[in-house]
Amino acid sequence: MTEQKSAFVVSADWLEQRLNDPSVKILDAAWYLPAQKRDPKAEYAAGHIPGAVFYDQDAIADLTSGLPHTIPSPQSFAESLGKLGISETDTIVVYDGPGIFTAPRVWWLLRTMGAQSVFVLDGGIDGWKAERRPVTTDVPQPAPATFHPKFNAEAVTSFAQMRDIVATGSRQIADARGAARFTGEEAEPRAGMRSGHMPGARSLPSGVFSTGGKLKSLDALRETIKAAGIDLDKPVVTSCGSGVTAAIIMLALQSLGHTDNTLYDGSWSEWGSRADTPVVTGKE
């Protein structure tokens, strides 16, 4: 019996068969932590999937917030995507380097801004290259498009809302940071931040949802989430370091048909850097 996979993920075979389909648009959304010592722009220039345009997660953001990767305004997002030749009606495939790492953030953001047909490439470009699939150094010059945003504000949790959730327990909190950062045993990579987690949060490190850069089966995703103490019949808010890998939990939840979920965009970059927010350490 074949294991059932997420409807939001496509295989390398699926994408390779559609490289010449003008209705399929491809975004290289690779982004890395400093410790990974990888340069996404340099890697894109050295070889990317044919037709892919580079989506800069540092630039397509609200640069006035003082926080990394903050969601841009719908108008700003629409302008950026339009310049990349992307419309909200396109079929859009997003990939990153290792697979199921930073692409889910752009998958989630596109859907939050009104795009309907958005997918993540299983295995990322690392898997694509390992299988000797076609790559190119040619940089596409897409014709400008019009992206009509339809922003779903309910998909995003603000700081004020997060403070209320922590105080009242109105939503389950799923934290995608590594387990040692969650417990406080490991220092945060950004200076000036406290270690630990929000009271009541559950640890769901982003890496537990994939194997070899490919999203796990629906049954495995369900078991992983349940094992962390998250009830799939109740609302969930996701968080991480800067709002990127929290979207991996969103991908897993929505793949399972869970609809009452939201992402805390400020995440630990905001919560952990303030002096007036409650922080606890340890596994609970």
| Active-site amino acid positions | 240
Residue type, 159: F
Could you tell me which of 47, 261, 281, 109 has the C-alpha nearest to residue 171? 261
Q: Is 159 helix (H, G, I), strand (E, B) or coil?
A: helix
Question: Residues of 145-163 as b/e, b for ≥16 C-beta within 10 angstroms?
Answer: bebebebeeebbbeeeebb
Distance CA 217, CA 255 (A): 10
Distance CA 135, CA 8 (A): 23
Number of helices and strands in the chain (H, E) = 10, 12
Contact 115, 90 (CB under 8 A): yes
Class of residue 222 by CB neighbours under 10 A (exposed 0-12, middle 13-18, buried 19+):
middle
DSSP string, 13-54: HHHHTTTT-TTEEEEE-----GGG---HHHHHHH-B-TT-EE
Class of residue 197 by CB neighbours under 10 A (exposed 0-12, middle 13-18, buried 19+):
buried
